Amino acid sequence: MFTDKQDKVDKDAEKSVCSFANNRDPEVLLQTLRVTLYNGNEKMNVRLIIDSGSQKSYITREAASRIGYVPIAEQLLCHSLFGGESSGTVKHKKYVVKIGSLSSDFKCNFTALDQRVICKDVPSIKRGEWCREMKDLDISLSDLDAKEDAVAILIGADIAGKLLTGKRHILRCGLVAIETYLGWTVIGAIKDPDARHDPVPFTRTMFASCQVVESLFLARVHINKEGRYEVPLPWLENHPPLSENKMMVIKRLESTMKQLRTSGLHKAYDAVFDEWLAECIIERVPEAEVGNKGHYLPHRPIIKENSTTVIRPIFDASAAPKPTKEKKSLSLNDCLEKGPNLIELISSILLRFREGMIGVVSDIKKAFLQISLNASDRDFLRFLWQDKQGNQVIFRHCRVVFGVTSSPFILSAVLFMHLEKNLTSLDANKDLNFSEQNIV
């Protein structure tokens, strides 16, 4: 068993709620660079981050695929995370990666493990007072004021030390400029007097960002007795408590009932819940559990006349009561991980259709509803309805819910896990052992 220890600040799949105290936290710059990725005659520019808190180096699967790398081996790792959490065993493909400085005066190769997402919301180095000082020092930055692409390569402690030249400058603003063979980078906090006064400050993370979220989530996924994947809700670490919202949801239900009766769609809408109840997609909350801690989701009908499903409920997990002067009001979505931005993957998916003669597209019927939810999280997905006698009924969801911010991430992660588990692995004849001479 191999262990990869990675530094991690509070996570949020890109951001993480840290505290509820008033704060003017400065932005912290991480060691990012823009480098050229090579494979024979193929090359492309990518973003790189240096993270000595990781024992291994990584490359995103998208970057490895686009440049045409072929895996040389596979490796099982157990990721040991901040706070003592463990990701469980994760399989990674291993590649020989070749990178160089943008000026092409330095190139090196090393082995790196694949990862679907390293980190996405890492800002490039912004222009500021430090730029003039760096110009006087004849320092240029490759990742200055550039488009904030997702990071494609992470250089871990296995490689980072060999790339440092030993030169550094502590700038008057407090940033530290560090020279590497791949170019100069900076690290440290930017003191911004105009920083937004936010009662809920956010922290950007390094590699741990999306990768840790996904690893921790997948480590808790299992197949239940029905043969379905069963998942937890991916809660934000240390999130403030959810706001009490039952009265707000009761008022929203009254409005929905009035709309349904006026439009003559009450019976059809009620039939959807009867069907879900019969298929165990939802369940009635037992009287003995009604007083347990929970959260309610308002809902309303969506009508699509020409669809196979003419009417269906949509749930509003972003709804929260009006905030007070003393307390910020939080919705369920405010407390859940969002995962990576899946829209950003569309361009690479479309480009892959050009690789072969035939492209195949498939659709999963009621995809969210095929994935079961852990029983411990279901009370946070309650909703109200009225039975045929007009009595208020409390239901709760047993499957992944359309309208919850983490649902697309959950579906994507489970699909990838299912495919990786069932696709035939590539044969690796030999695990190439590259020596330090590969870093030249």
Contact 211, 121 (CB under 8 A): no
Q: Which residue has the tokens 């996904």?
A: 214
pLDDT, position 225: 92
Distances in whole angstroms, Cα of residue 372 to Cα of each of 274, 289, 349 = 18, 20, 27
Structural domains present in the chain: 28-193+200-207 (2.40.70.10), 214-352+360-427 (3.10.10.10)
The dihedrals phi and psi of 349, each to the nearest 5 degrees, come to -65, -45
Report residue 222 CA to chain centroid gap.
20
Q: What values do phi and psi take at 67, rounded to 5?
A: -85, -15
How far apart CA 352 and CA 411 sit, in angstroms, is: 21
* HEC sequence for 308-323: CCCEEEEECCCCCCCC
CA-closest candidate to residue 115, choices 215, 1, 6, 13: 215
Sheet holding 392-397, edge to edge: 282-284, 392-397, 382-386
SS (H, E, C) 217-237: HHHCCEECCCCCEEECCCECC
| CA 134 to chain CA mean position, Å | 34
- pLDDT, residue 124, reads 79
Phi, psi of 144 (to 5 degrees): -90, 125
Under 8 Å between Cβ of 298 and 248 = yes
> H or E segment at 122?
none
pTM (predicted TM-score)? 0.55
Q: What is the pLDDT along the chain (440 residues), one digit of tens a residue?
A: 233 433 333 333 333 333 333 344 567 888 999 999 999 999 999 999 998 888 899 999 999 999 999 999 888 887 766 555 666 677 899 999 999 999 888 999 999 999 988 876 787 777 777 788 888 888 888 888 766 578 999 999 888 888 988 888 888 888 888 999 999 998 888 765 444 444 444 444 434 455 667 777 777 889 999 999 999 999 987 777 888 899 999 999 999 999 999 989 999 999 999 999 999 999 999 999 998 989 999 999 998 877 767 888 999 999 888 876 656 788 999 899 887 777 777 887 888 888 888 888 888 888 999 999 999 999 999 999 998 888 999 999 999 999 999 999 999 889 888 887 776 443 333 343 333 334 43
Say how many C-beta atoms besides its own lie within 10 A of residue 357's C-beta.
Answer: 4
CB 288 within 8 A of CB 215: no
CA dihedral 336, 152, 7, 168 (to 10 degrees): -140
Q: Which residues pair with 302 in a beta bridge?
A: 312
Cβ-in-10-Å burial (0-12, 13-18, 19+) of 207 comes to buried
Residues with Cβ < 8 Å from 423, sequence gap 6 or more?
A: none
Read off the tokens for 426: 């590539």
| 3 state DSSP class of 393 | strand
Q: What is the 3-state secondary structure (H, E, C) of 24-44?
A: CCCEEECCEEEEEEEECCEEE
**What pLDDT shows up at residue 212?**
63
- Please state the separation of Cα 426 from the chain's center in Å: 27
Residue pair 392/216 in contact by the 8 Å Cβ criterion: no
